[in-house]
């Protein structure tokens, strides 16, 4: 597996040491604890990140993107119906394998014939059913330690180049990088300078043709100092403070990005996936 990964990254001009250091240092944190009230047709039965695009949860699609770039160590911030996420990954090996259950000797002999399993390490943390986004991040500090990490939301897919994103973050030396896209959305509105510095962060103000926060962030461990308790909303006071202190940078993404807040958006993503031309599917089959 290491050989295959290194060979793949060499095709992108990435050295073995870069691959090795990345695998050790950067974990991927995914916020997957919210209820998803705007898509309650599905989320009444399961957490929004477990709603399927094709036959896989959108959480799986997000993880496949990171995994394609060599990031396999995930920390899932679960909350609402968190047992469903835990059960999915606890049984994931069986889902991805051809098996025979042999009971002929009055025993349960499980035989694995073929397995298509990703090289993932998945830590699932119950961060509370009603905890805000900043509080969820604060609760997983023990699993991150003093290392930089990546963070994204468990309900949006993108074809962002993760390697370029990480390289951009390492180059500017600030505490936080978020990925910005230009769309008409009611997400976090950004005011960005020519150099990519975020001058202000305004959460959930509808506007037209402005840069918005698409997630896919890279954060230094000092970010935990900006988080207080379960009531902390990461997209308000902490982001605003980071912007005011000049510690928040924007990586501009001009490709595909789409969140799945509503049933209409889920249907749109499903049609793209069924067509075989889903823009976020950058990985090989």
5 has which bridge partners?
none
Q: Does 212 have pLDDT greater than 70?
A: yes
- How high is the pLDDT of residue 184? 62
Give a yes or no: residue 123 inside a domain.
yes
Give the span between the Cα atoms of 68 and 32, in whole angstroms: 20
Q: Is residue 102 part of a domain?
A: no
Tens digits of residue pLDDT in 155-206: 999 999 999 999 999 999 999 999 999 876 555 666 667 677 876 766 655 4
Q: What pLDDT is recorded for position 93?
A: 86
pLDDT band at 36 (very low <50, low <70, confident <90, very high): confident
Go through 242-261 and write b for each residue having 16 or more CB atoms within 10 A of its CB, e for each that does not.
Answer: bbeeebbbbbebeeebbbbb
53 pLDDT more than 70: yes
pLDDT of residue 203: 62
Residue 178 tokens, joined: 């978020």
CA dist 32 and 57 (Å) reads 12
Q: What pLDDT shows up at residue 156?
A: 96
Ranges assigned E (strand) in the chain: 27-32, 52-53, 56-57, 73-78, 97-102, 109-115, 121-126, 149-153, 156-158, 176-183, 189-192, 198-202, 210-213, 217-219, 248-252, 257-259
Question: Does residue 170 form part of some domain?
Answer: yes
Q: What is the pLDDT of residue 173?
A: 94
Residue 207 is part of a domain; what is its CATH number? 3.90.550.10
For position 189, what pLDDT does the model report? 62
For the chain, percent of residues with pLDDT exceeding 90: 65
Distance CA 22, CA 27 (A): 9
Whether residue 143 is contained in a domain is answered as yes
**pLDDT band of 96, cuts 50, 70, 90:** confident
Number of domains in the chain: 1
pLDDT at 23 over 50: no
pLDDT at 199: 65
Q: Is residue 284 part of a domain?
A: no
Q: Does residue 214 belong to any structural domain of this protein?
A: yes
Nearest to 204 by CA among 193, 213, 196, 216: 213
In a domain, 204, yes or no: yes
Average pLDDT score, the chain: 87
Contacts of 49 (CB under 8 A, 6+ apart): 30, 32, 57, 58, 59, 62, 85, 154, 155
Domain boundaries, position 204: 25-90+119-274
What's the pLDDT score for residue 22? Answer: 47
Q: What is the pLDDT of residue 197?
A: 80
**pLDDT at 5 (0 to 100):** 47
Alpha-carbon torsion angle 135, 139, 142, 146, nearest 10: -10
Whole-model pTM: value is 0.83
How would you classify the pairing of strands 73-78 and 121-126?
parallel
Average pLDDT over residues 66-85: 97
Cβ neighbours for 240, distance < 8 A, ≥ 6 positions apart: 200, 201
Task: Please tell me the number of Cα atoms within 13 Å of 22 on its side-chain side.
Answer: 27
Within a domain: residue 246? yes
C-beta separation of 160 from 257 below 8 A: yes
CB within 8 Å of 214: residues ≥ 6 apart: 156, 158, 160, 178, 179, 180, 181, 187, 253, 257
pLDDT exceeding 70 applies to what percent of the chain?
Answer: 84
Does position 74 have pLDDT exceeding 90, yes or no? Answer: yes
At 231-278, the pLDDT tens digits run 999 999 999 999 999 999 999 999 999 999 999 999 999 999 999 999
């Amino acid at each position: 597996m290491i050989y295959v990964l290194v060979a793949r990254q060499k095709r992108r001009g990435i050295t073995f040491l870069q691959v090795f250091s990345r695998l050790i240092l950067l974990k991927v944190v995914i916020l997957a604890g919210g209820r998803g009230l705007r898509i309650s047709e599905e989320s009444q039965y399961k957490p929004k990140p477990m709603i399927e695009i094709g036959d896989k949860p959108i959480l799986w699609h997000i993880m496949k993107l990171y995994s394609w770039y060599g990031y396999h160590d995930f920390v899932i911030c679960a909350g609402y119906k968190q047992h469903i996420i835990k059960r999915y990954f606890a049984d994931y090996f069986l889902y991805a394998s051809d098996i025979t259950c042999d009971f002929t000797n009055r025993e349960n002999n499980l035989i694995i014939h073929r397995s298509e399993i990703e090289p993932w390490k998945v830590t699932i943390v119950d961060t509370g059913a009603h905890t805000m986004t900043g509080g969820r991040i604060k609760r997983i500090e023990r699993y991150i330690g003093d290392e930089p990490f990546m963070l994204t939301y468990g309900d949006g897919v993108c074809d962002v180049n993760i390697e370029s994103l990480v390289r951009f973050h390492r180059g500017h030396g600030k505490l936080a990088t978020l990925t910005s896209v230009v769309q008409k959305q009611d997400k976090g509105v950004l005011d960005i300078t020519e150099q990519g510095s975020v001058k202000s962060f305004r959460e959930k103000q509808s506007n037209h043709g402005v840069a918005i926060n698409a997630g896919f962030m890279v954060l230094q461990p000092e970010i935990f100092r900006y988080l207080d308790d379960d009531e902390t909303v990461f997209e308000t006071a902490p982001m605003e403070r980071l912007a005011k202190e000049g510690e928040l940078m924007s990586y501009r993404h001009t490709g595909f990005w789409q969140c799945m807040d509503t049933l209409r958006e889920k249907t749109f993503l499903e049609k793209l996936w069924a067509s075989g031309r889903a823009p976020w599917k950058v990985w090989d089959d």
